[in-house]
Chain A
Amino acid sequence: MMNGCLKDQTLLSLHDGEGTGAERTHLTECAACAARYRRLRGDLEAIRQVLRETPPPHIVSRGSRSFASRWLPLAVAVGLILVLVWGGARLWRPAGSPLSNEEIWALLGESSADLFLLNEAFAEEVWMNTVDAEVATALEAEWPCERDVESVDAGLGDVEGYAGSIPCEISPGL
């Protein structure tokens, strides 16, 4: 003989064909439990019928869902990743990593000096070529010139026809 009514879980077990003999006996003797059992059966049958025989409610696109609410989490995640990568690169820089600002400025300074030296060498070469051409022209034309051009570079000695003092007005200032 059972004391008290059956639990819902027990009623479900009885519905599934399980349960003890005492529980079944109680079910036949207790009007309240019998009513609960009938209601359970009816509910399960109704649910089963709905799920089997009726289509689910239409599922529609949620137009009210904002663009931001959908993409904001992704944007935040991407931003966080970028910040972490940037911070990590700042804190931990392996060998062969990009140069610091001081190193970059030093490199730029050296490059500028080299460029100026190269420029001066180029200007000197141009000057020499110009002088050679002027001297050759002067010799061919036999320009009158009283002035000694010793101040001109010794490279003039290479000019064809040059013999020491040449009548020429050529000067470095030309």
Chain B
Amino acid sequence: MTLPLQPVPCRGPVSYEALYAAHHAEVLRLCRLLLANHHDAEEVAQEVFLKVYQRFQNKNQNQLMVWKPWLVRVSINACRDRRRSGWWKWFGGTGEEYREASYPDSGKSPEETLLGRETQGHIWRAFQELSARQREVFVLRYVDEWPTGKVADMLGITTGSVKRYLFRAVRHLRRTLGDRP
């Protein structure tokens, strides 16, 4: 299902550059989480900001907007479109699989790290095992920290459905953590 793409009139950054600077990282992270492929995420984020630019050009300059919810919707739609084109990757592109992650050195000692690399890898793999909808709901609710009602609005589903998706996603992800103190 394609979500409505009408931006919400309200206040926001006054220039495209400011908009890009304010939201590009968030859009890229959202795309990366939903696609699990950094290159695809970068491409989709570029597509999203191309749409932003077009919207920005067509927009009445006196019309103020809250761009973030609109950006989230456009990003989710763009990620869905990218996932739908997966058949091409199957035949023409490269197959993909996970290998051991190599995280950048955060400067923390192993003792200071909250979770070990192995656990982080388990979490990522479990996250990728979620359905597309569960991933969307979980990311919007617990990573981007949108309220449940807002998540339902963005995804075009009911609040009850959001809770059900959340519960199943959390249950699956917590299994990967096992019994921790």
Contact = CB atoms under 8 A, between A and B. Distances in A.
A62 B96 CA distance: 5
Interface in A68-92: 70-71, 74
A12 B98 contact: no
B101 A56 contact: yes
Interface string B97-115: 1111111100000000011
How many residues of A sit at the interface, in one of the four size bands? Answer: 20 to 34
B124 A57 contact: yes
Interface string A34-50: 00000110111011111
B94 A61 contact: yes
Nearest to B144: A52
A93 interface: no
Nearest to A62: B95
Interface string A45-67: 01111111011111111100100
Contacts of B95: 61-62, 65, 70
B123 A50 contact: yes
Contacts of A58: 98-99, 101-102
Interface of B: 29, 32-33, 36-38, 90-91, 94-104, 114-115, 119-121, 123-125, 127, 139, 141-143, 148, 163, 166-167, 170-171, 173-174, 177, 180
